[in-house]
Amino acid sequence: MELNDANLQTLTEYLRKTLSPDPAVRRPAEKFLESVEGTQNYPILLLTVLEKSQEDVIRVCSAVTFKNYIKRNWRIVEDEPNKISDPDRTAIKANIVNLMLTSPEQIQKQLSDAISIIGREDFPQKWPDLLTEMVNRFQSGDFHIINGILRTAHSLFKRYRHEFKSNELWSEIKLVLDTFAQPLTELFKATIDLCQTHATDINALKVLFSSLTLISKLFYSLNFQDLPEFFEDNMETWMTNFHNLLTLDNKLLQTDDEEEAGLLELLKSQICDNAALYAQKYDEEFQPYLPRFVTAIWNLLVTTGQEVKYDLLVSNAIQFLASVCERPHYKHLFEDQNVLTSICEKVIVPNMEFRSADEEAFEDNSEEYIIRDLEGSDIDTRRRAACDLVRGLCKFFEGPVTGIFSGYVNSMLAEYAKNPGVNWKHKDAAIYLVTSLASKAQTQKHGITQANELVNLSEFFVNHILIDLKSPNVNEFPVLKADAIKYVMTFRSQLPKEQLLEAVPLLVSHLQAESIVQHTYAAHALERLFTMRGANNSTLITPTEMAPFTEQLLNHLFKALAIPGSSENEYIMKAIMRSFSLLQDAIVPYIPTLIGQLTHKLLLVSKNPSKPHFNHYLFESLCLSIRVTCKANPDTVSSFEEALFPVFTEILQNDVQEFVPYVFQVMSLLLEIHSNSIPSSYMALFPYLLQPILWERTGNIPPLVRLLQAYLEKGAATIASTAADKIPGLLGVFQKLIASKANDHQGFYLLNSIVEHMPPDSITQYRKQIFILLFQRLQSSKTTKYVKSFLVFINLYSVKYGAIALQEIFDSIQPKMFGMVVEKIVIPEVQKVSGQVEKKICAVGITKILTECPAMMDTEYTKLWAPLLQALIGLFELPEDDSIPDDEHFIDIEDTPGYQTAFSQLAFAGKKEHDPIGDAVNNPKILLAQSLHKLSTACPGRVPSMLSTSLPAEALQYLQGYLQAATVQLV
C-alpha cells in the first residue's frame, strides 16, 4: 500500500464503516482491514490518518485500530508469518513517542498502550534509545508532555509487579533505574514545589496531582521486585513527601461527586499501597517511618466519610493496616485490648455496613456486583479490606478479636430481630462478620478449607441461615437470601452433608428469584456443591439423592435464562453443564426438549458472541447432551445432527471466528459416534475443511485435525472412491503443519490417520514425497518433539505396510538411507518416546524390523541388528528419557503442543485415546519373543549366535524372561 492520498481516503472510509451499528456494513469493513494488515505501510497509513484527519472520531478509531493491530502482530512467533515489515517497525519506533506526546489525551492513552506492547517485546535490546528519549522530555516543563511520558512509563514498567525473577528481568530493571530513578526523583520534588507555588490555581493543581499519582505508581513498580539502592539512599525524600501528601487537605481538590474518586483520593490511595509494600517487604529499612504512617493512615480512616468516592482510599488504607498487623515485629502495636476494640469499632464494623450504594449496585448493576463479590475482584471494596484486616488480626489475636466481634454479631442480630423489615442490614453485616471471622484459608475449588474453631458454623447455619433459605417468598429481602446462599457456598466443605442436602432443594427454588444476584448465587452454589467429592472420589451428592429434584432443577435452570438480565448468565450455564455431568442417564428423558432450547440459545448468541465463558459452557452442555444420550442409544446421533447442523452451517458461513473451533469439536464428537460409514452431509463439507484460509488461524488447528481424523476413521474408503481428487489437498494440510515447530505434532496425527485408514493403493503415488518432506524438516530443524513423532510414524508404517516396505522406501530415496535412520535416529532416540500407545507402536514396529526384514540379516545392516534389539529392550525396561537439549528449553509457549492462543478445548468433547494396533497385540514383549522364535526357526543357529556375541548380559537376561513368559525357545 503506497503512502498516497487515495489510500488515506480509502482507509478513512473503511475505518468509518467499522463504527457502523449495522453488521452488514461493519463486518465487511473489518474483513477488509484484516485482509490488508499484512501489507507494507499499513501501520504507517493508520498513523498518518491519526495525525492528519480533521475528524476526531476517525482519529480515535485509527488509534484504537493501530493499538489492536500492534497487539496482534508485533510479537514475532517462530513459523508464523511476520505481518509487520522491518522498515515499518523502524518507522513506528522512530515516530510513535513524539506522536503520542503531541496527541490529545484520548489518543495519547491508546498510543501509550501501543508503546508498552512494543516495549514488552523490543525494550531494551531492540529499542535502546526509548528511555533516554522519554527522560529528555521531562525537561520540557510542559505537563501534558510529562504526563504522557509518565503514563507510558507506567504501562511499560507495570509488568515488574508480576514478573518472575530472572537475570534478564534484573538487568532490565537495573538499566531502567540507572536512567530513570534520578530524573523521576527530581521531577517528584519539582512537582511538589510547583504544587505549593500554584496552591490556589485549581487547573494547575489538577495537572500536577495527576503527575504525582503517576509518579507514585511508578515508585510502586520500580520498588516491587527488590529495594533498589537508589531508593534506599533517597528514602527520606520520598517517605517524608509521601507522608506530607497523606496528611494534606486542599479544599480546591475536594469534589462534590459522591461516586467518582477525586485526584486527592487517588494519590493518597497509591501512597497507602506504597507504604504497605515497604511495610511488607522492606520492614527493616522502613521501620523509622512506620509509626508516623500508621498514625496518619489511622487518622485518615477515622475521618473519611462513607461515600463511594473514598472506597479505594479506605480499602487501601485498611490493607496497609492488615499488612502491618500480620508482621511479627509490629505485633506490639496492636496488643492492647483497647487498640483492638478501637480498630474493630472504628474501622472494621463501619466498613462492613451494606450502604445504599451497595444496594443500588445489587439491584441495578448486578453483573459488576457479582464479579466483585463472588470472584474476589472486590479487592478495592471496603468490605473485602475489612475482612482481610480481621484475618490479619486473628493471626496473633484470634481469641480477643473473636470475643469482641461475637458481642457485635449478637447485638446486630438482636437489632434485626426487633424489626426485620427495617433492620435487615444489621443481619447482613452480622453474616459478613461471621464469614470473615471464620474464614482462615480458602480455595476456589473447595471454598473455606480452614476455619476458626471458635465459631460454630453449623449452629449459625441452623439458627440464622436456614430461615432465609426456607422463606416461602423467594423475592423478599433478596440481599439476605443472597447472603444465606453465599454462606452455604463459602462453608460447603465445613458443613455436614445432611445440611448441604437440606439446602439443595431450597437453592433450586431460589433459581426462580427475580433478583439477578440471588438466582445467580443459587446457580453458582449448586454448581459448586455438584463438584464436591466424597469417599472414593465419587461426587459427594449422588444422582440418586438428586432424583426427587431433577425435573425441577432442570426446569428452573432453563427458566432462569429467560429472566431479564440473565439471558447470557455464565453461572446458570455452568450450572446446567454441571447438572448434566452429575445426573448423567437421568437427563436422557429431558434432552429432546432441552436440546431445542440449547440450539435456539446458540443461534441467538452466535449473532454477536460477547460472553466467552457463557458460550464455552453452552458448547460443553451440548457435548454432554450428545455424549450421555448416544451412550444410552447411539442411533439418536442423527436427531442431534438434525437439530445442530442448521445452526452450525450458519456459524461456518458467517465465519463466527469465536465459535468455529467449537463447532469442529462438536462435529468430531458426532462423527466419532457413527458406526463405520460417513453420512453424505459430512462428505459435502469435506472440501471446505481443506481450505487454506481455515488453517491460517492457530485456534482452528487442533479441532480441525481431530475432525479430519474422524473423517479418515469413518470414511477413508468413501474419500478414496468419491473424493480422490481431494487427497492432494489433505496432504497439503499435512505439509503445512509439518513445517511448523508449533504444529508439527498435529501434522503427524493427521499423517498417522492417513496411513492407518486410507486404502493403501489410494496413497501409493504420494508415499515417497511424504518421506522426502519428513526428511527435509528433519535436516532443517530437528527438535525432540519432532523426532518423537517421526519415530512413532515410521514404526506405524512398519506395522501397517510391513518392515520390507519401510526399508525399501527409505533406500529408494537414497541408497543405505534405511541404515542411517536406524543407526542415527531409531537406536539413540527411541528411549524418548512417551505415552503407552506410542511406545506400543514403536515396540511392534521395531519387532517387525528385527524379525521380518531380510536386509537386517543379510546385508551391511546386520551390524545394527543387536543394537536395535538392545534399544527395544531398553524401551521396555528403562525409564523414559525425558531430557531436552538446552537450546530447546526456551521454545516459546506457543510452540508447545496442547497450548493454543485462541483454542478452547471442550472437556466434554474429549476424545478417547486410539490404539491403532488394538487387541492384535496385547503384550509387545510376548510378540518380540514369538517373532524371534519364528525367525530362529527360519534360519537355525543365527539368532542365538548374534545374541551371544553382541547383546549385553543384562539385556539378554530380560530377553530370557520374555521367552519364558511366551513359552518359546530359540533354535
- In tens, the pLDDT along 167-187 reads 999 999 999 999 999 999 999
C-alpha cell at 230: 537508589
Tell me the pLDDT band of 882, cut-offs 50, 70 and 90.
Answer: confident
Residue range 471-486, pLDDT digits in tens:
999 999 999 999 999 9
Q: What is the pLDDT of residue 891?
A: 38
In 252-289, which ranges are continuous DSSP H helix? 263-281, 283-286
Q: Is 304 helix (H, G, I), strand (E, B) or coil?
A: coil
Query: Of 104, 125, 27, 4, whose CA–CA distance to 62 is shortest?
Result: 104
* CA distances from residue 36 to 41, 53, 68, 71, 891 in whole angstroms, order as listed: 10, 20, 14, 16, 30
Q: What is the pLDDT of residue 895?
A: 33
Q: Average of pLDDT values for 25-43?
A: 92
Query: Of 928, 922, 913, 919, whose CA–CA distance to 843 is shortest?
Result: 928
Q: What is the pLDDT of residue 316?
A: 94
Question: Does 897 score more than 50 pLDDT?
Answer: no
Residue range 322-348, pLDDT digits in tens:
989 988 878 888 888 999 999 999 999
Give the helix/strand (H/E) hosting 447. strand 447-451
Q: Within a 13 Å sphere around the CA of 457, how many CA atoms are in the beta-carbon half?
A: 25
Q: Average of pLDDT values for 923-929?
A: 96
CA dist 704 and 725 (Å) reads: 20
Q: What is the pLDDT of residue 858?
A: 85
φ, ψ of residue 533 to 5 degrees: the values are -105, 140
Q: What is the pLDDT of residue 889?
A: 45
Residue range 595-654, pLDDT digits in tens:
999 999 999 999 999 999 999 999 999 999 999 999 999 999 999 999 999 999 999 999
* HEC letters along 101-160: HCCCHHHHHHHHHHHHHHHHHHCCCCCCCHHHHHHHHHHHCCHHHHHHHHHHHHHHHHHH
Provide CB contacts within 8 A for 226, sequence distance 6+. Answer: none
Question: Does 86 score more than 90 pLDDT?
Answer: yes
Question: Does 59 score more than 90 pLDDT?
Answer: yes
Please give the single-letter amino acid code of residue 955: A
Q: Is 443 helix (H, G, I), strand (E, B) or coil?
A: strand
Q: Is there a contact between 520 and 571 (Cβ–Cβ < 8 Å)? A: yes
R_g of the chain computed on alpha carbons: 34
Tell me the pLDDT band of 670, cut-offs 50, 70 and 90.
Answer: very high
> Rounded to an integer, what is the distance from CA 33 to the centroid of its chain?
28
Mean pLDDT of the chain: 92
Q: Exposed/middle/buried for 914, CB within 10 Å: 0-12, 13-18, 19+?
A: middle
Q: Average of pLDDT values for 925-941?
A: 95
Would the CA dihedral through 806, 809, 815, 821 be positive or negative?
Answer: negative
CA dist 599 and 432 (Å) reads: 40
CA dist 81 and 767 (Å) reads: 29
Give percent above pLDDT 90 in the chain. 80
Tell me the pLDDT band of 135, cut-offs 50, 70 and 90.
Answer: very high
Tell me the pLDDT band of 249, cut-offs 50, 70 and 90.
Answer: confident
Exposure string over 879-893, b if 16+ CB within 10 A, otherwise e: eebeeeeeeeeebee
Tell me the pLDDT band of 585, cut-offs 50, 70 and 90.
Answer: very high
Q: Is there a contact between 502 and 484 (Cβ–Cβ < 8 Å)? A: no
Question: Does 377 score more than 70 pLDDT?
Answer: no
Residue range 796-842, pLDDT digits in tens:
999 999 999 999 999 999 999 999 999 999 999 999 999 999 999 99
Q: Average of pLDDT values for 925-942?
A: 95
DSSP one-letter code for 461:
I
Give percent above pLDDT 70 in the chain. 96
Q: Average of pLDDT values for 868-874?
A: 97
Question: Does 294 score more than 50 pLDDT?
Answer: yes
Q: What is the pLDDT of residue 23?
A: 84
Question: Does 447 score more than 70 pLDDT?
Answer: no
Q: What is the pLDDT of residue 17?
A: 95
- Beta bridge partners, 329, equal none
